[in-house]
Amino acid sequence: MTEPTGPKRWGRREVLRLAGAGVGAGLLGSAGLTGCGFGSLSNNGGEDSAAKKVSGGFDWKKHKGTTLRLLMNKHPYTDALKAHRGEFQDKTGIKLAIDEFPESNYFDKVTLELKSRQGNYDAFMLGAYMVWQYGPPGYLEDLGPWMHNSSATHAEFEPDDFFPNLIKAGQWNFVNGAPLGGKQQWMLPWGFETNTVCYRSDVFAKLGLKPAESFDDLTELARTLKAKAPGAGFDGMYGIAVRGSREWATIHPGFMTMYSREGLKDFKVEGKKLVPTMNSPEAVDFTSRWAKMVRDAGPSGWTSYTWYQASSDLGAGKAAMLFDADTASYFQNVDTPAAGKLAWHPGPKGKDGSLATNMWIWSLAMNSSSKKKPAAWWFLQWATSKEHLLWAGTKQQHIDAVRRSVADNSAYKDRLKAVPGFLDTFQTVIDQTKIQFTPQRNFFDATTSWAAALQEIYGGADAKATLDKLAKDLEPRVNG
């Protein structure tokens, strides 16, 4: 969706179609690069770092007359940037040339640009998980040296103002299984989504129902809604919408959030190996129950459901609940049949009261092949600044806020308070919202296979046998 009234919101869920497109080998076949920790690459922040050559006092006009080319996804965040770019150009004298592409082919464009190493674009949007794929081959500039050079970074940038789990999501040493964090900063968070439950408050009120506080309660609630809502005047309504298509994006929102709240992990690290754990007895039980919930109370045609179908069903009055990105449901509260009838809830707690929540982060990164790195850094620090993000969050549709100062701003909070339960839900889960996956270079391939296994279980396959086979197949792939 480019505007709250438009037919779509952003579609960051397209699988990176690397294999078969002549691109995969360039990204995934760089064993020499991924194994050496970037020691010889130009983006390592070493003595030849462009960031370390910047000296003198910081001056916004230092790169006046430069034109930057940006590669961007069609998205409300990009719309906010375009609406505010005059401010940046006046402040810096740097011109922004923005090329936008729809999500259906955006990441293909990014992949081809980075693989070419031509530096045609200076900065671009990416999801945090893409750091695990674009980082090891050396396509991303390490922003750490720029951030920590006072000659290159304005005094009010304040990286500590970012929510800690969001800024940490851009830090990784490219070792499979190593936790996020460290000195290297491969992207800056720009906007993000936590994953919560949105529900039809009018339906719940008419049926005398309350949001579920446990996973067992959620499955029962979804079945009750499917059974009773049509007879209460909500024709054709089913219980719960979640994603189901055969792609990695099916796993990461509601499924991974509830999976994590139940204390489950995707992999464990044994020595230098990743060992899949989605076939543990507890994971098998959870996956079986999730699939049964969807069979009993989800939509027909679930195996084709992406974020778009799931959230659209909520807005159209077909689904009583959506367990997905909070922003996906937020935009369904404008100019849809369900508008004004939606409310938000953190979703079920885990057995120990956990509200561990997975997230997606839209981020900004610098092309390591850019020939205009100083000017590109001037743009990145402005685009992720308190100044721009507060303006975009109050004047445009740039939510959720990645900076604590913006999230705490009274004007920003007043805007969100108009949406029942949205702000309270955000504040409840934010401190437990982080990337719940184990960082690893084959994330997209492995997680797409996981989604395929979930589809098989939904279709009636034995959960244990299916997940045992998945784990056996994944182990050599993720350790290759």
Distance CA 353, CA 331 (A): 29
408 within some domain = yes
* Residues 369 and 460 both lie in one domain: no
Average pLDDT, integer, range 32-43: 33
Distance CA 395, CA 84 (A): 10
* Residues 441 and 475 both lie in one domain: yes
More confident residue, 200 or 38: 200
CB neighbour list of residue 13: distance below 8 Å, 6 or more residues apart: 103, 243, 247, 249, 306, 307
Distance CA 403, CA 148 (A): 18
Side-chain-side CA neighbours of 429 within 13 Å: the count stands at 30
For 188, the enclosing helix (H) or strand (E) is: strand 188-200
Read off φ and ψ for residue 373, nearest 5 degrees. -60, -45
* Residues 115 and 230 both lie in one domain: no
Q: Give residue 103's pLDDT.
A: 86
Q: Give the predicted TM-score (pTM) of the model.
A: 0.90
Looking at residue 429, its amino acid is V
More confident residue, 480 or 61: 61
Tens-place pLDDT, residues 406-433: 999 999 999 999 899 999 999 999 999 9
* Residues 338 and 199 both lie in one domain: yes
pLDDT over 50 at 32, yes or no = no
Which domain covers residue 276, as residue numbers?
A: 194-358+436-479
Place of tokens 């809604």: 225
pLDDT over 70 at 171, yes or no = yes
Cβ burial 6-17 (10 Å sphere, 16+ → b, else e): eebbbbbbbbbe
CB-CB contact of 341 with 251 (8 Å)? no
Average pLDDT, integer, range 103-117: 94
How many structural domains are present in the chain? 2
pLDDT over 90 at 251, yes or no = yes
* Residues 120 and 252 both lie in one domain: no
DSSP state of 414: H
* Residues 220 and 99 both lie in one domain: no
Q: Give residue 351's pLDDT.
A: 86
42 within some domain = no
pLDDT over 60 at 44, yes or no = no
Distance CA 34, CA 107 (A): 21
322 within some domain = yes
Q: Give residue 104's pLDDT.
A: 85
* Residues 117 and 184 both lie in one domain: yes
pLDDT-derived band of residue 23, with 50, 70 and 90 as boundaries?
very low
86 within some domain = yes
Side-chain-side CA neighbours of 337 within 13 Å: the count stands at 12
* Residues 392 and 422 both lie in one domain: yes
Q: Give residue 17's pLDDT.
A: 34
Q: Give residue 28's pLDDT.
A: 34
43 within some domain = no
* Residues 416 and 321 both lie in one domain: no
pLDDT-derived band of residue 43, with 50, 70 and 90 as boundaries?
low
My answer on whether omega of the bond before 400 falls inside 30° of 0, hence cis, is yes
Average pLDDT, integer, range 171-199: 97
Q: Give residue 142's pLDDT.
A: 98
Q: Give residue 45's pLDDT.
A: 53
Angle, vertex CA 306, rays to CA 325 and CA 219, nearest 5: 65
pLDDT over 60 at 114, yes or no = yes
* Residues 335 and 230 both lie in one domain: yes
20 within some domain = no
pLDDT-derived band of residue 60, with 50, 70 and 90 as boundaries?
very high
Hey, what are 235's tokens?
A: 């024709």
Residue ending a domain, choose from 386, 409, 428: 428
pLDDT over 70 at 465, yes or no = yes
pLDDT over 60 at 47, yes or no = no
395 within some domain = yes
Tens-place pLDDT, residues 255-309: 999 999 999 999 999 999 999 999 999 999 999 999 999 999 999 999 999 999 9
More confident residue, 261 or 40: 261
pLDDT over 80 at 9, yes or no = no
6 within some domain = no
CA–CA distance from 156 to each of 75, 118, 409, 425 (Å)?
Answer: 27, 33, 16, 29
Q: The CATH number of the domain where 449 resides is what?
A: 3.40.190.10
CB-CB contact of 168 with 181 (8 Å)? yes
Tens-place pLDDT, residues 75-100: 999 999 999 999 999 999 999 999 99
* Residues 280 and 243 both lie in one domain: yes
pLDDT over 60 at 22, yes or no = no
* Residues 150 and 284 both lie in one domain: no
More confident residue, 44 or 161: 161
